[in-house]
Amino acid sequence: MMQRYFYPGATPTHSRILCLEHNTDLRFSIGSAFDSYDFTQKLPISFRDLLVERLKQIRQQAPYWRLWFSGGKDSRLILDTAIREHILPDEILTIVHQPAGAFSLGAQVELEFNAVRYVQDLGLPAEVRHTVIQFQPEHYAAGFRDGSWIHDMPLYNFHAPFNPGVFFSKVNPEFELVQKSDDVVDISGNTHPHVVWSGTGWQFFYVDRQFCMDTNDFCENFLACDSMPELTHAYVSAVIGAYQHTVVDGQPQTFGADRVTRDQIREYHEIRQPRPDLEMPKYYDGSWYPGDSRVWMVNNNYKHWVNCVACFGQDPLPASMRTYLDSTDWNRVKISHGHAGIITHRFDCA
């Protein structure tokens, strides 16, 4: 039985679609240790100190650890802490999305300045490998070619082959872009919980769709992990400390897993990106959608929108988009996408 980032139910699985098709008890779990941890207890260590403890844990977990680095604040927090504490990753991996080929727009430019050039300018020791993959249409096509890719993550957007579940099961075996074995632990950036004042007490929970990088056997989330629930505990405590003064007359409130909430925490607020002006909006809020309507059902992220438009503007369609359209079971995707988020326990916390 799988032990982390899975849907328990009658038939435990990493697949959101199989969970919906075979389970009536819909739950999501980070892992058994996380589920049984007491988040109401007093935590004697700070979020900042636990970040260091988590790095030490990863360093001891395997001979080789690789950080998936986008240059955003979540992956920056990990890398900046690793540099400060001299607990460096063996490899930093940056994947530049190019499903329509290379063009100076969107995520490609953001990644160039905030990830690629940022790491290059750090002057890290030579033994820290920085792998930059220009993720081309043929890489996307390899990810989509086997229609089973929809079981490798809980979202079904155009960038799916970049995510570790599809990347390691479909793309990397064909192209050997990075080395992967039991001796290599891959770490993804932070996923943040939803923190709720219920009217009588504090709770938090996660939603399955937040774990598109981690619902697989290949990658582990840095902040939300079964092996150190204390780190999530410390983050939630910091959020409560930042927002408890806003609770008025005991009314229920929710503090989301978003940039605004995250940046109230000192460790995130202190991070300064080289080109903050390049941080793209999370969602496209316009009304113009060219091409195949099935695509727009699951691609409302602004970065996805840019790359999809770039593909639909080509004739013939790039192999990435053509394979995405032809190999995907859109009926199953539609059912899953239309279903509400599947949450973890609502954990009580002090």
Q: In the prediction, which pLDDT does 101 show?
A: 87
Please report whether residue 249 resides in a domain: yes
Please report whether residue 253 resides in a domain: yes
3-state class (DSSP) for residue 325: helix
Please report whether residue 92 resides in a domain: yes
From first to last of its 350 residues, the chain has per-residue pLDDT tens of 457 999 998 889 999 999 999 999 899 999 999 999 999 999 999 999 999 999 999 999 999 999 999 999 999 999 999 999 999 999 999 999 899 887 766 667 778 888 999 999 999 999 999 999 999 999 999 999 999 999 999 999 999 999 999 999 999 999 999 999 999 999 999 999 999 999 999 999 999 999 999 999 999 999 999 999 999 999 999 999 999 988 887 788 899 889 899 999 999 999 888 777 767 677 788 889 998 999 999 998 888 998 999 999 999 999 999 999 999 999 999 999 999 999 999 999 98
Please report whether residue 19 resides in a domain: no
Please report whether residue 29 resides in a domain: no
Q: Are 212 and 158 in contact (CB under 8 A)?
A: no
Question: How many independent structural domains does the chain possess?
Answer: 1
Q: In the prediction, which pLDDT does 105 show?
A: 63
Please report whether residue 20 resides in a domain: no
Q: In the prediction, which pLDDT does 1 show?
A: 43
Please report whether residue 196 resides in a domain: yes
Residues 6+ apart with CB under 8 A from 21: none
Please report whether residue 135 resides in a domain: yes
Q: In the prediction, which pLDDT does 76 show?
A: 96
**DSSP letter string over 168-205?**
IIIIHHHH--S---TTEEEEE-----EEEE-SSSEEEE
Q: In the prediction, which pLDDT does 27 show?
A: 96
Domain range enclosing 315: 40-349
3-state class (DSSP) for residue 108: helix
Q: In the prediction, which pLDDT does 70 show?
A: 92
3-state class (DSSP) for residue 36: helix
Q: In the prediction, which pLDDT does 340 show?
A: 95
